[in-house]
Structure 1
Amino acid sequence: MLIVLSPAKRLDFAAPPADLPATQPRLGDDTATLLKTARRQTQAELRRLMGISDDLARLNQARFKAFDPQATDIGVQAALAFAGDVYQRLDARGLSPADLDWAQDRLRILSGLYGLLRPLDRIQPYRLEMGVRLKTRRGASLYDFWGDRISKQLNADAQGQAEPVLINLASQEYFGAVDARALRIPVITCHFRETKDGQTRIVSFFAKGARGAMARWIIENRIERPQDLKRFDRDGYAFTPALSTDADWVFIRS
């Protein structure tokens, strides 16, 4: 069983534990190719492409220029570096080395710049959302750029798993980079909803936290079978069969 998450815009590059191992992203050649295009963007172009302020455009232009695609000892492990709502609940810095070692074979993070990351893959500071329409020789968007590469890597990662199923805890924007035609394993997407006054709805802030909480729960409990996900009950969520299908599992709390 594999689990996929989205990355986060907010980053935390505080030093990791000295004894924590670090690995290298596996789609590095593609990252280096994409970086060449990103570096050619002016501040104005980055501001328009990403919908960000002048200050953030200036910061990210500097990040692209400082990025060293050949470096193997720069950066922080991905699961520790991302610091958004999902990753606050995942709290990778609070996981044991054994937990992170287990997650290394099962947790994957989608990325606009890196394609697909493992928790211990070392990353450098960047910002490049998957939905950005950055034109490259491969097409008009990052979806075009990554093509079927992410799906092929997920297929390879699923080999040898007890149950080769992909648990989707990513946003629609990022999971759109997984080419469904090239993917050779079934997908289960988990949805988290809130109930109030008899109505259920998705609240983005809570849903993001729930994705991180479920990822941590899977790691801590060494969940290997998709059916065991139905036992997830953190923060009051409960699996709701009446609203679920084989491919979409709904968890609701009051």
Structure 2
Amino acid sequence: MLILLPPSEGKTPASQGDAVDWNSLSFPGLNTYRAKVLEALGTVSAHEDALALLGVGASLSADVERNTRLHTEPAAPAHRVYSGVLYDALGYQSMTARQRRKADESVLVISALWGAIRFNDRVPAYRLSMGTSLPDVGRLASFWKPQIAEALTAATEGELLVDCRSSTYAAAWVPPAQRTVSVNVFTEANGVRKVVSHFAKHTRGELARHLLTRRGAAPRNPAQLLKAARENWSAELVEGTPRKAHALNIVLPN
């Protein structure tokens, strides 16, 4: 089982430590493309209209300025850098050592800057969304799609893929449908379901934590994933097709 996560929009910078070691990152075949995105991001971030070009507000000017020196910024494990609702609910720091090792092995983060990384890869904090378009790179989801597919196809062979990504990051890699389960979260009242956003992030984080910390073998197919989810939630499985992933629908009380 592998769990696919989006990065958090907000990130926690490392206060000290060495800069990113490119040779130590997972999926080193992506390094050429990482370097291209990093260079384009640094150029845009130094522009006088950087905030507008990156689609962020003035409150994030320090984050954008940091983008200009990512080669030398202190790096930290991804599970420390990424923060926010989903990652708070996942709660890596409160896991046991064994559970953390499982998370390091099982979690893949699909990133606008790094393409794909594992939880223990050391990276600096940065500000960049997968929906952004950069000079000489283009829209990042389109840029990364063939590169991530090449890097991850062999690495994920035979694994059940639990897809907790948002739609923006899901566009950067479409894994094999027969082995993929997309996680959706709804509320229901009087028989009417509504898609939720904030609680979807939180619930996906809780699901990831449950799958990483529960006793017993990890789910190996969609039916076993449904059974694991039902240990904590009301859930249903929508069978996929040869071209469309299965869907795990978690229904929260309103």
Do these two structures clear the TM 0.5 threshold for a shared fold by scoring above it? yes
Q: In the alignment, is the contact (CA less than 8 A) between 1:79 and 1:120 conserved in 2?
A: yes
The separation in 2 between residues aligned to 1:15 and 1:4, in whole angstroms, is 27
In the alignment of these two chains, the number of paired residues is: 234
Shift of the 40–13 alpha-carbon distance from structure 1 to 2, 3 Å rule, reads closer
Q: Aligned-pair distance for 1:205? A: 0.7
Give the corresponding residue for 1:19. none
The separation in 2 between residues aligned to 1:4 and 1:147, in whole angstroms, is 15
Q: In the alignment, is the contact (CA less than 8 A) between 1:190 and 1:251 conserved in 2?
A: yes
Give the corresponding residue for 1:225. 220
Matches within 5 A, 1:1-254: 1-13=1-13, 24-26=25-27, 27-41=30-44, 42-56=46-60, 58-68=61-71, 74-136=74-136, 138=137, 140-159=138-157, 163-179=158-174, 183=176, 186-221=179-214, 222-226=217-221, 227-231=223-227, 232-233=229-230, 237-241=233-237, 244-246=238-240, 247-254=246-253
Shift of the 225–209 alpha-carbon distance from structure 1 to 2, 3 Å rule, reads same
CA deviation vs aligned residue, 1:92-134 (integer Å, no higher than 9, x gap):
1112222121222221011100111101011101011001122
Shift of the 147–45 alpha-carbon distance from structure 1 to 2, 3 Å rule, reads farther
Q: What TM-score do you get using the length of structure 1 for normalisation?
A: 0.82
The separation in 2 between residues aligned to 1:97 and 1:148, in whole angstroms, is 35
- Hey, which of these two has a bigger chunk of strand by percent? 2
Shift of the 121–237 alpha-carbon distance from structure 1 to 2, 3 Å rule, reads same
The separation in 1 between residues aligned to 2:200 and 2:165, in whole angstroms, is 10
Shift of the 14–134 alpha-carbon distance from structure 1 to 2, 3 Å rule, reads closer
Shift of the 62–55 alpha-carbon distance from structure 1 to 2, 3 Å rule, reads same
Q: In the alignment, is the contact (CA less than 8 A) between 2:130 and 2:140 conserved in 1?
A: yes
Q: In the alignment, is the contact (CA less than 8 A) between 1:164 and 1:185 conserved in 2?
A: no
Amino acid at match of 2:180: V
Amino acid at match of 2:249: V
The separation in 2 between residues aligned to 1:129 and 1:104, in whole angstroms, is 23
Q: Aligned-pair distance for 1:212? A: 0.6
Shift of the 185–135 alpha-carbon distance from structure 1 to 2, 3 Å rule, reads farther
Identity %: 22
Contiguous gaps of at least 5 residues in structure 1: 17-22
Q: Aligned-pair distance for 1:84? A: 1.1
